[in-house]
């Protein structure tokens, strides 16, 4: 049975994330957003709050909490700002959970434990200047020379690129399969910033998530020890899709938090703002926009919670995660646009947070699977054209108590 009552541990995670958002994010977010600056202290604050590894097994330094807890934390952080949720999406969803699932014990000891406790930062490198949704279109190569692979290529639009210590990088190890666009020629590697030939930088001029760190990773003859191959040669595409499953889940939950932020901002403003001698909360078309936000929040939350429930149960959740990501991001865009409309001219100014919500909402419908990709996925599932194959590894089992 699915219960809509949160457990004590889930409530505790929600409380920790909400408290961090209220104390450490909201007071300064306008400043960092205006200045297009990433706040490095936030990662330290999240580590101190045990939010960087709470859903990882205790044996790797985590708290062993469940995936509903992860969703709740993402919802609370994005209620404050998308840039804060992105940290969990990347550090936990795209890096730590995949490393915990696919890496061997030696790799976990070196590349997972320090990230779980916040001593090191991990990120995920798949997207390139000429390859986004078309993952098989990446050009980065990994050529084996003795006991190392030499990596050459550039990753683009990588969150935390310029601050991360470890990178989960995807590259072609079979050049013939690269030419044939056969994804079984892709492999995954754990790359350290300190390896030779690695350089990173920030991307400026973004529409949204301006308080987040977004950049590039460039590798030139970067020597990566053969023992840093994650999984087997040729499993890179499967690992990348697994990573995206976890990342999309966090984006879905986070976008749900953004919808709630839009709703709450509009409720407050509509009660305070008066036109034609009446609070605008009494105008029917304003009510309609707020009602739509309420509805979209409720069903978006149900969708990500269903995906989280399946993750907790050890069941495949790619279909449910895709649906949750598609719908919550779509509804967040609409809620943010309506929030600006409710605020009128003030919504066009950063005096109120809704213009930031509007800018931030757009990115979620692009990264980790565009809305068009998820639309096609859901159609293919419904038509019977797509069926997910079982993987040889699975997410860590969690205690749901």
Distance CA 208, CA 197 (A): 30
Distance CA 19, CA 338 (A): 28
In the Cβ-directed half-sphere of 139, how many Cα atoms lie within 13 Å? 11
Beta strand 122-125 with 166-172 is parallel
List the Cα angle 380/385/390 in 5-degree steps.
Answer: 100
- Cα 333–chain centre separation: 16
Beta bridge partners of 141: 152, 172
The residue among 106, 78, 37, 16 whose CA lies nearest residue 258 is 78
- Residues catalogued as catalytic: 368
Distance CA 180, CA 343 (A): 52
End-to-end CA distance of the chain: 14
């Amino acid at each position: 049975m699915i219960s809509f009552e949160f457990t004590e541990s889930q409530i505790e995670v929600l409380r920790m994330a909400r408290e961090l958002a209220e104390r450490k994010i909201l007071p300064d977010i306008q400043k960092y957003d205006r200045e297009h600056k990433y706040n490095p202290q936030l990662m330290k604050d999240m580590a101190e709050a045990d939010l960087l590894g709470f859903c990882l097994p205790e044996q790797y330094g985590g708290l062993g909490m469940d995936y509903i807890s992860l969703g709740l934390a993402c919802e609370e952080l994005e209620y404050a700002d998308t840039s804060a949720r992105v940290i969990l999406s990347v550090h936990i969803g795209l890096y730590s959970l995949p490393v915990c699932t696919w890496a061997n014990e030696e790799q976990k000891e070196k590349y997972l434990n320090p990230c779980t406790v916040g001593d090191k930062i991990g990120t995920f490198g798949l997207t390139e200047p000429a390859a986004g949704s078309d993952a098989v279109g990446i050009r980065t190569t990994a050529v084996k020379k003795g006991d190392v692979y030499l990596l050459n290529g550039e990753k683009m639009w990588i969150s935390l690129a310029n601050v991360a210590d470890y990178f989960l990088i995807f590259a072609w190890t079979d050049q013939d399969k690269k030419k044939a666009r056969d994804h079984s020629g892709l492999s995954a590697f754990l790359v350290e910033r300190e390896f030779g030939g690695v350089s990173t930088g920030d991307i400026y001029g973004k529409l949204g998530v301006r308080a987040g760190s977004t950049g590039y990773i460039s590798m030139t003859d970067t020597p990566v020890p053969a023992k840093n191959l994650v999984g087997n040669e040729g499993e890179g595409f499967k690992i990348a899709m697994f990573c995206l499953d976890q990342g999309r889940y966090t984006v879905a939950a986070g976008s749900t938090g953004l919808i709630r932020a839009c709703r709450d901002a509009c409720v407050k403003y509509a009660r305070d703002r008066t036109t034609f001698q009446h609070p605008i909360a009494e105008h029917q078309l304003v009510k309609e926009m707020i009602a739509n936000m309420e509805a979209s929040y409720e069903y978006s939350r149900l969708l990500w919670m269903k995906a989280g429930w399946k993750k907790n149960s050890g069941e495949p959740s790619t279909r449910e995660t895709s649906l949750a990501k598609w719908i919550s991001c779509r509804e967040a865009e609409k809620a943010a646009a309506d929030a600006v409309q409710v605020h009128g001219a003030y919504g066009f100014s950063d005096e109120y947070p809704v213009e930031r919500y509007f800018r931030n909402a757009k990115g979620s419908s692009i990264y980790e699977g565009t809305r068009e990709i998820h639309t096609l996925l859901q159609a293919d599932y419904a038509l019977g054209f797509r069926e997910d194959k079982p993987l040889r590894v699975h997410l860590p089992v969690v205690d749901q108590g």
